[in-house]
Structure 1
């Protein structure tokens, strides 16, 4: 979701530049990026050699997405800077926060502090920290989302250099989407989820081939995505939340000499759900080899426009003096995907 069509910025950062960085009442960050470490601290770190999902382009770091689990001042503040080695696990850390909240309520400790200090304290101890905690969900809900049992670490071949990333993908994707649902319910406006680069089915030393690689990747996606869609529908959020599933490119129509597929910019799949758009249809056609569009192409600017029209009236941005002209022009440069 970062390219020249987004001014080299995370789309959520563009949204935050228009809507603001935090919810005006709760303080919830309006732009969040979730990597595997948000739900599994032992996962591999964010990959940045091919670009950064949390890039802000020329917007400045004030509009960067909040990245839970990545460390840094904001993360430390939201966790009250309590050293993790004082606790056996994350559950005890959350219990400590709950006890601190109760003691503050009883003692009146915050009386006399100014409004902004009070707001900051409420932000830390309020429902915002809870929204990032998937363990507050019922066991049945966690089980519905959980992708870890589907493809176990033991079943992933050790011959691939990216084995740890395959493991992280399956261990975390379901919980990442569960956290995403919790965040949008709590008022977050834009959530980016990635499990790092695992869809490269090149059949080289790093990546499995098509058949094996799809087993490592698609099983978790099918399970977690269906859980998210069903959950949003059940909660009445289907028209309020737009789910976008895409990669950075497609794959070559021809199998390579090793039995895998390589990068291909001519055509790529795109899945959309919700947001008040017309669902239940297939838009566009490809050539027989799935290499090029044979109908009117859907471009990245069309996708950006679709996302932004879901969030606000993109056509009115030029009339808002607080929105820079170049941002307004970028977000309204194309039409939403035709047919939606």
Structure 2
């Protein structure tokens, strides 16, 4: 099977390899498909919905996003302006102005706590997820590739998947962790490397395009001969060969190639206008590149995630906190709250609003769930430099789509914005909510022998509206 091109829309080799990761290692082989053969649950246990987990590494502030406290004492008070949302009596921090207009489509949880105040990758990977990326639990049930499209069912995308000049992954932890499962369930990482990555790359000049099908066929033929001569294909088992064919089919690369998207849609997602142009970045010891990378990539990452879900990926993790840019201590390494929300909050607001409007226009609001949170929240008290520090007892959590009714604010915080005022929700509630979105738990219990860990995690209480 070969990449299909019509000659009118050539794919740049650099983009194809960078985004599509046409190396076997980029799909976490040699066992990408192995457990799909063994995992064969009843189809009725899968809802057909997808989840995008936008992980805001560094720890976003609840005060300047979705739970502002404009009337609190000055040492606590939200440092930005606030804005009325489309829900009566509900306000957001002013940097969330575009999302405020869409609040009737969103679910905001004001009683969520990560129970964690350290820089790591909880709750996406941590003790509550059995040290596995939540997407690996999904793949453990449905298999590692979509049988209809060949798309990996679990993917992690970093800023460098959509912006070539952004350095590689800067996550504070291994988002490819599989916990109790084997590495065959590790997420697909576009642009990732692997044991056979270099051997499987197409040898085309970096500054050339795929001119036509004949050119591509010739390159693939040479690739086939070179690999055969080294004996690598001879030692591949059937599943490895199947994955090799998958790479050469081009469907994965087509989904990853944003050039296939409507230019007007790309423009709506574009957050490059938020690239820092001010001098405040000098306070962060030259970390301007981190804020630039975040501003340039977050919209495209969400667009890419939507395309992956449409192509059959069931769980996408977006690392949307490049180098921990939500960590707004106002020290030598990090911006203060006001400047930080300009640099990081506004592109986030723009990108997520574009995503919501895009899904609504496509009728996908019940098919894809978006989860936005970080590893922690921020302290009620503003430090003497104008920043907020790490806080475990309350964190912002935004949910959208996946069949949620929208227009809900679940729970409330104390007057100082430091803790839930009433029933708290934690990582276990969130993980259960996610798993109950993608699975029918009653049916999943019937195939518990396939993945008892998944049934256990999904059986915990989910996030719900309290009286």
Task: Please give the TM-score of this superposition, normalised by the length of structure 1.
Answer: 0.87
2:264 matched residue in structure 1: 140
1:53 matched residue in structure 2: 175
CA deviations 1:92-137 (Å, max 9, x no partner) are 2xx3685566779xxxx9xxxx997577435533322100011211
1:64 matched residue in structure 2: 186
Measure, in 2, the Cα distance between the counterparts of 1:183 and 1:155: 37
Measure, in 2, the Cα distance between the counterparts of 1:69 and 1:301: 31
Q: Cα RMSD (Å) of the superposition?
A: 2.7
Cα 1:335–1:163 change in 2 (3 A) is same
1:271 matched residue in structure 2: 398
CA deviations 1:264-309 (Å, max 9, x no partner) are 0000111111101111111110001100000221221111111111
> Structure 1 residues 309-318 or 142-151, which shifts more?
309-318
1:125 matched residue in structure 2: 249
Whether the aligned pair in 2 keeps the contact of 1:101 and 1:125 (CA below 8 Å) is no
Q: Which runs of 5+ in 1 are unaligned?
A: none
1:165 matched residue in structure 2: 290
Matches within 5 A, 1:54-133: 54-72=176-194, 81-83=201-203, 86-88=205-207, 92=209, 95=210, 117=241, 120-133=244-257
Instruction: Please give the secondary structure, in 2, of the residue aligned with 1:157.
Output: helix
Measure, in 2, the Cα distance between the counterparts of 1:5 and 1:122: 34
For the pair shown, which has the larger CA radius of gyration, 1 or 2? 2
Matches within 5 A, 1:235-254: 235-254=362-381
Whether the aligned pair in 2 keeps the contact of 1:41 and 1:69 (CA below 8 Å) is no
Whether the aligned pair in 2 keeps the contact of 1:241 and 1:274 (CA below 8 Å) is yes
Q: Which has the higher contact order (CA 8 A, sep 6+)?
A: 2
1:337 matched residue in structure 2: 463
Whether the aligned pair in 2 keeps the contact of 1:250 and 1:263 (CA below 8 Å) is yes
Whether the aligned pair in 2 keeps the contact of 1:252 and 1:291 (CA below 8 Å) is yes
Cα 1:240–1:141 change in 2 (3 A) is same
Instruction: Please give the secondary structure, in 2, of the residue aligned with 1:65.
Output: coil
Structure 2 residue 325 is matched with structure 1 residue 198: yes
Measure, in 1, the Cα distance between the counterparts of 2:183 and 2:176: 10
Residue 228 of structure 1, CA deviation: 0.7
Residue 88 of structure 1, CA deviation: 1.2
Whether the aligned pair in 2 keeps the contact of 1:12 and 1:190 (CA below 8 Å) is yes
Whether the aligned pair in 2 keeps the contact of 1:32 and 1:66 (CA below 8 Å) is yes
CA deviations 1:295-336 (Å, max 9, x no partner) are 22122111111111110113443321542323321232x122
Matches within 5 A, 1:177-188: 177-188=302-313
Whether the aligned pair in 2 keeps the contact of 1:31 and 1:190 (CA below 8 Å) is yes
Measure, in 2, the Cα distance between the counterparts of 1:135 and 1:11: 29
Instruction: Please give the secondary structure, in 1, of the residue aligned with 2:272.
Output: coil
Tell me the number of residue pairs that the alignment of Structure 1 and Structure 2 aligns: 324
Whether the aligned pair in 2 keeps the contact of 1:34 and 1:68 (CA below 8 Å) is yes
2:273 matched residue in structure 1: 149
